[in-house]
Chain A
């Protein structure tokens, strides 16, 4: 590499302009800026949870798992079904709400983990040695299958997710003209806990290290006695744990979900993963956060109809000018 190349300087110039413009807004209307930032961070935390699954799967088998966004949505659908068994109260936070909340997350995560292992077994493993385009196509097929299942289940209309988190005027504080709701805090704290657990798992445990080893050199991993089918299945399982939790959090935050929610969210999360550097785990978390912030700023300062242009413009820009993403991981040269 060495020095700043022309494409790199393009990336820096665009980033610098965006930061200066935002900085001007932050100085002239600080309260609005901080308020928007809070919304952006909450969204970004959810994108990060989904982006991690994209990046982990890409890291280990170089597949963009386009069904991942629908795993996220299905987490919300299944979670909503589970909440149906509880007499949750949408007006005040009761003990039942708390119990439902503590129960729904692990159950949804485990179910989605199991489903994703099944998806890998059926749609990707038989194509392990096929040309790379083949599993990409089955991934898109799997995405349609999941969306189809959810469509048959609840139809095309939006599904209401019980608003069981503490909300309303009693559960938000106003700091210097900026509202911070319990829900915002909940989303960010949950995401931070999950990402920290992931980091510990990946860096400290035997299976986590085996996953990293498999991602770095699959043949060598096999020669160490690592069963790569197991580590790949584990990667899909963990990716789905995070996506399932992300879907549940999304449902509880926005209280509305629909069968193809994962199409857009998945693409945005994929953009986050590419932005941070596809295959790079910290990159996906940071990329998710940044994309959440950028889309919030775009919604407010440019207009929400332009947000998708901005986000996918970033995707194109990163792929053209800086394919290694922000954290600059070397692109796999296979």
Chain B
């Protein structure tokens, strides 16, 4: 049984169907990439998992428990935390307060302090800027803070939505190497990316999403080797 099991999920925005019977699994220790073009349903998939929206049919199970209809705050408590698309920091709060918000559902002060140190080790820049207001950070620093904030929940599953969006190439390298490092520390990652080549390099397995349906799945290498994917997403 996988850690996260999304099974035949159909989801709608009003009358528009955004997800058409998609099924995804993430196992312990894995990095799983979800690639696809704009509007394919990647972010909707994450919103369905994190409980910000509920599917019309299908089930989402986490750690063996059905969370299809569970609210977002309960889901965070159960151990799924997301770094949302566009970072969505709390712009008028300091770096440290943003990180504390990430640990909102936790009560173990020593654990929170340990994780704060861990985040500062992963992202030394955030330590330098700990008292700065989040809205004044650079794009790369904001992305680091968004990821650090999600890590503060001490998640059993980390979901990253477009972590490389809008960043300079050198920063994209940094972000993906940090994704590897987080995974090496034992945190499974569900990675949503438009930057397919980078995502497929990091991912153990990948799903390709097209207009709400999964059109292909396999290991990162298999997907990257597919002609269709190369044409559509890798520009080869």
With an 8 Å Cβ cutoff, the count of chain B residues facing the other chain is 25
Instruction: Give the contacts of A201-257 with B (CB-CB under 8 A).
Output: 206, 209-210, 212-213, 216-217, 219-227
Q: By the criterion CB–CB under 8 Å, are B88 and A209 in contact?
A: no
CA–CA, A216 and B82, complex, Å: 17
Interface window among B3-11, B98-106, B182-190, B212-220: B98-106
Task: List the B side residues contacting A209 at CB < 8 Å.
Answer: 93, 97, 100-101
State whether the Cβ of B76 lies closer than 8 Å to any Cβ in chain A: yes
B52 and A219 within 8 A (CB): yes
Closest to B134 in A: A216
- Across the interface, do B153 and A222 meet the contact criterion of CB distance under 8 Å? no
| Interface residue? B164 (CB, 8 A) | no
B101 to A213, Cβ gap below 8 A?
yes
Query: Within 8 Å of chain A (Cβ to Cβ): is B73?
Result: yes
**CB of B95 within 8 Å of the partner chain:** no
Nearest-CB residue, chain A, relative to B146: A220
* A-B Cβ contacts below 8 A, count: 63
Tell me the nearest residue of chain A to B102, going by C-beta.
A224
Q: Of A217, A223, A226, which is within 8 A of B82 by CB? A: A223
Q: Are B104 and A225 in contact (CB under 8 A)?
A: yes
B93 in contact with A227 (CB, 8 Å):
no
Contacts of A210 in B (CB 8 A): 101, 104
Residues in A whose Cβ lies below 8 Å from that of B84 = 219-220, 223
Residues of chain B having any CB pair with chain A under 8 Å = 50-52, 71-73, 76-77, 81-82, 84, 88-93, 97, 100-102, 104-105, 149, 153
Tell me, rounded to whole Å, the shortest Cβ–Cβ distance linking B97 to chain A. Answer: 6
User: Which 8 A/B pairs are nearest by Cβ-Cβ distance?
Assistant: A225-B76, A225-B105, A220-B88, A222-B72, A216-B90, A227-B73, A225-B73, A224-B104
Q: Is the CB of A217 within 8 A of B90?
A: yes
Contacts of B73 in A (CB 8 A): 222, 225-227
- How far is A219 from B92 in the complex, measured between Cα atoms in Å? 16
Instruction: Choose from A212, A225, A226 the contact partner of B93 (Cβ within 8 Å).
Output: A212
Q: How far is the CB of B72 from chain A (nearest CB, A)?
A: 4
Bound together, the chains give a CA A227 to CA B76 distance in angstroms of: 11
Known: A210-B104, A213-B93, A216-B93. A222 touches B88 (CB 8 A): no
> Bound state CA distance, A219 and B87, in angstroms?
11
CA distance A75 to B76 in the complex (A): 39
Contact of A224 with B52 in the complex, beta carbons under 8 Å? no
B105 & A223 in contact (Cβ 8 Å cutoff): no
Cα–Cα distance between A85 and B101 once the two chains are bound (Å): 45
> Hey, which chain B residues are within 8 Å of A226, CB to CB?
73, 101, 104
* B contact residues around A216 at 8 Å (CB): 90-93
Q: Which residue of B lies closest to A216 (CB)?
A: B90
Contacts of B72 in A (CB 8 A): 222-223, 225
Q: By CB atoms of chain B within 10 A, which of A216, A217, A220, A221 has the most?
A: A220
CA A217 to CA B149, docked complex, whole Å:
14
Q: How far is the CB of B2 from chain A (nearest CB, A)?
A: 22
A222/B52 in contact, CB under 8 A: yes
Residues of chain B contacted by A227 (CB below 8 angstroms): 71, 73
Assuming the contacts A209-B101, A210-B101, A210-B104, asked whether A223 and B89 have C-beta atoms less than 8 A apart, the reply is no
In the complex, which residues of chain A have a beta carbon less than 8 angstroms from the beta carbon of B100? 209
Residue of B nearest to A220 (CB): B88
Say whether A225 contacts B77, CB under 8 Å.
Answer: yes
Chain B's closest residue to A225 (CB) is B76
- B50 near A223 (CB under 8 angstroms)? yes
Closest to A214 in B: B90
A223 vs B73: C-alpha distance in the bound complex, in angstroms?
7
Q: Are B52 and A220 in contact (CB under 8 A)?
A: no
Residues of A within 8 A of B81 (CB): 223-225
Q: How far is the CA of A294 from the CA of B97 in the complex (A)?
A: 37
User: Which of A206, A212, A217, A219 is within 8 Å of B104, CB to CB?
Assistant: A206
Sampled A-B contacts (7; CB under 8 Å): A209-B100, A222-B52, A223-B50, A223-B72, A225-B72, A226-B73, A227-B73
